[in-house]
Every structure is written in C-alpha cells, then in structure tokens.
Amino acid sequence: MMTRTLVFFLEEPSAKAMLEGMLPRILPVKVTPRFVVFEGKQDLEKQLGKRLRGWRQPDTAFLVLRDQDSGPCEPIKDRLVEMCRDAGRPATVVRIACRELESWYFGDLAAVEAGLNLSDLTQHSKKAKYREPDHIVNPANELASVTGGRYQKLGGSRAIGPHLSVDENTSRSFQVFLQGVRRLL
C-alpha cells in the first residue's frame, strides 16, 4: 500500500480536536491525516473550491465535514458535492454532521463521561429525547447543560475524541461519516 494522505476540510477547530483523538484508532499506519480548518461554514464554502483545485500532493483523498445546523441536509450536501466536482475533485467525500458535531457525542455518552471525567451521563441515553442523537435540536447547548457546564466546544472535543466508540455510537451521521472515511481508504 502506498503512503496516502487523507485531507479533512472542517468548518471549525473542535472537529479537528475530536478527529485527532479518534482517527489514530481507525486509520492505517501509512495514512497521514491532514486538517484544513476554516472559520465557520461560510468560510469553508467560500474557500473550498480554491483549496481543492490548489492541492498538488499526489495520492491524496479528501473529505469535507460540515454541521447541518438548522439547514436542510440534502441541499447542503448537494451544494458541497457540486463545489467539489466543479473544483475537479469529484471523488471527494462530503459528510454532514446532523445537527452538530455534539450529536455524535450524544451517540456515545460513555465517551463524554470518560473524556470529561463525569459520571451518570449514560443514564440520559435512555431518555426519549436523547435516543436519536441526530434529532436533538441544539446538541451543543444540550451537552453543556447535561454536563453541568463542563463541556466546552474545543476542550470537550479534544477530551472526548479519544474515547468515542467507532462501533457503538448510536448517531447515524457519525456512522455514515466513518463509512465515508473507510471508503476513502
């Protein structure tokens, strides 16, 4: 297997912090992750095409990760896919975190407990409100609430990432993201 580079185009630093903790458990040794972090979704969408066109390193695969927030998922994804195609990178994988990255954390509250050194969080996963993490309306605020303010976007993502289960997470968008990473490998 040739050495490969897997480039993640991310809308915010918290996604990078989480991925740095999680990816070493799923990437083969000869695959090097690189992160291009933007200053929000508008910055990502403004610069994505230029960054993809300008990438010259051979044997590189690309994945774009953006939060859905309150927008409609399919049109957001379709727009990003079209931007990648227009930039000459049609094989780029685009993934949308439904609603926000923190939905993925609700899909594995044991990881949140371990990362933030808390207890009794997993009991929340039994509540109807949290059973489908991708449907939580404002997961970042909700996570801050259930952790008593211990969750902070960047530091929390850095702490939780190494503990996220790649097999047991109940967030569908997290599982689809992992499928996309595996497809690029």
Cα–Cα distance between 101 and 115 in angstroms, integer?
A: 15
DSSP labels, 97-127: ESS-HHHHHHTTHHHHHHHHT--S-GGGGGS
What's the confidence (pLDDT) of residue 70?
87
Q: Note the pLDDT tens digit of each residue in 101-111.
A: 999 999 999 99
Angle at 180 between CA 175 and CA 183, to 5 degrees: 125
Cα–Cα distance between 165 and 174 in angstroms, integer?
A: 10
The reported pTM is: 0.95
Sequence spans of domains, the chain: 4-100+171-184, 101-163
For 166, the token pair is 């790649």
Give the pLDDT of the chain (185 residues) as one tens digit per residue: 465 999 999 999 999 999 999 999 999 999 999 999 999 999 999 999 999 999 999 999 999 999 999 888 999 999 999 999 999 999 999 999 999 999 999 999 999 999 999 999 999 988 999 999 999 999 999 999 999 999 999 999 999 999 999 999 999 999 999 999 999 98
Short-list 65, 17, 61, CA closest to 44: 65
What CATH topology corresponds to 4-100+171-184?
Rossmann fold (3.40.50)
For 73, the token pair is 């998922």
What residue type is 43 in one-letter code? D
Instruction: Please give the radius of gyration of the chain, using alpha carbons only, rounded to the nearest integer.
Output: 16
Whole-number mean pLDDT of the chain?
95
What residue type is 134 in one-letter code? D
What's the confidence (pLDDT) of residue 2?
64
Query: 123 exposed, middle or buried (CB, 10 Å; 0-12, 13-18, 19+)?
Result: exposed
- For residue 180, the 8-state DSSP code is H
SS (H, E, C) 44-75: HHHHHHHHHHHCCCCCEEEEEEEECCCCCHHH
Backbone φ and ψ of 37, nearest 5°: -105, 130
Q: Are 157 and 15 in contact (CB under 8 A)?
A: yes
